[in-house]
Amino acid sequence: SQQGEEDPQALSIQEGENATMNCSYKTSINNLQWYRQNSGRGLVHLILIRSNEREKHSGRLRVTLDTSKKSSSLLITASRAADTASYFCATGGSEKLVFGKGTKLTVNP
Amino acid sequence: SAVISQKPSRDICQRGTSLTIQCQVDSQVTMMFWYRQQPGQSLTLIATANQGSEATYESGFVIDKFPISRPNLTFSTLTVSNMSPEDSSIYLCSVVKTSGGDYEFFGPGTRLTVL
């Protein structure tokens, strides 16, 4: 069964705006990861946050993790048209990842 | 990082036939996985490809339908057998480079359409 549930399912914004996507999960995790998928291609790993971390940054990406609420958020600042993609959270507990349903982000130029 | 290639990149197949998808990595990796992504959906893990032994299948996936080989540490194949239109999906392989590695590198995917 799916572990992560992303919210919203789809998001459309203008270039330069910030995009926030949320992920909720159900069981204990070792880490939570975010991946990007461009138009039905392979996934690209964006960022990993461990269960003992609360916030992490990578370039224009900011990820938060609240283990008490079993939720995470991904913030993309100053969005660009090239950020248009689907974004998935994935939870890691043992050796395999469990992916959420994804958020489809469209950044309009 | 790891560079992963998949062949074919896409195919259109007839019902009842089988297709073998290849996954090649540019370096030895500890773990290889096969996922299915149905249209508009998320990724579902099919199996873990084990080098030199039978793959470990997830619930709902069986070896007769999705036989997997992994003859060495850089190569694996997934066969989709006796295909039906419901098998139309993107099939992705992924790898973990080192033991205990946390995240996966994905291949570009194989887009399969079954008529």
DSSP states of chain B: ---EEEE-SEEEE-TT--EEEEEEESS--SEEEEEEE-TT--EEEEEEEPTTS--EEPTT--TTTS-EEEEETTEEEEEE-S--GGG-EEEEEEEE-STT----EE---EEEEE-
What percentage of chain B carries pLDDT values higher than 70? Answer: 97
Q: Which residue of A has its CA nearest to B60?
A: A1
**Cβ contact A96–B106 (<8 Å):** no
pLDDT of residue B53: 87
pLDDT for B52 equals 84
Per-residue model confidence as pLDDT tens digits over A33-50: 999 999 878 899 999 999
Give the minimum alpha-carbon distance from A54 to chain B in angstroms, rounded to a whole number. 18
**Residues A48-98: tens digit of each pLDDT:** 999 999 999 999 999 999 999 999 999 999 999 999 999 999 987 666 788
Number of residues in chain A:
109
Closest CA–CA distance from residue B47 to any residue of chain A (Å): 10
Give the closest-approach CA distance of B16 to chain A in angstroms.
25
pLDDT of residue A95: 64
Mean pLDDT of A5-27: 92
Pairs of CB atoms within 8 A across A/B: 49
| pLDDT score recorded for residue A2 | 47
* Best residue of B5, B24, B42, B98 to probe chain A, by most A CBs closer than 10 Å: B42
Q: Quick one: pLDDT at residue A97?
A: 85
Question: Residue B106 is nearest to which of A31, A42, A101, comparing CB atoms?
Answer: A42
pLDDT for position B99: 63
Instruction: Give B29-52 pLDDT, tens digit per residue.
Output: 888 999 999 988 899 999 999 888
Residue of B43, B56, B113 best to disrupt the A interface, most CBs of A under 10 A? B43
pLDDT of A23: 94
Task: Express as a percent the part of chain A with pLDDT over 70.
Answer: 94
Q: Which residue of B has its CA nearest to A31?
A: B102
Q: What is the pLDDT of residues B51-101, one digit of tens each?
A: 888 999 999 999 999 999 999 999 999 999 999 999 999 999 999 887 666
Residue B27 C-alpha, separation from nearest chain A C-alpha, in angstroms:
18
- Tell me: pLDDT of B102 over 80: no
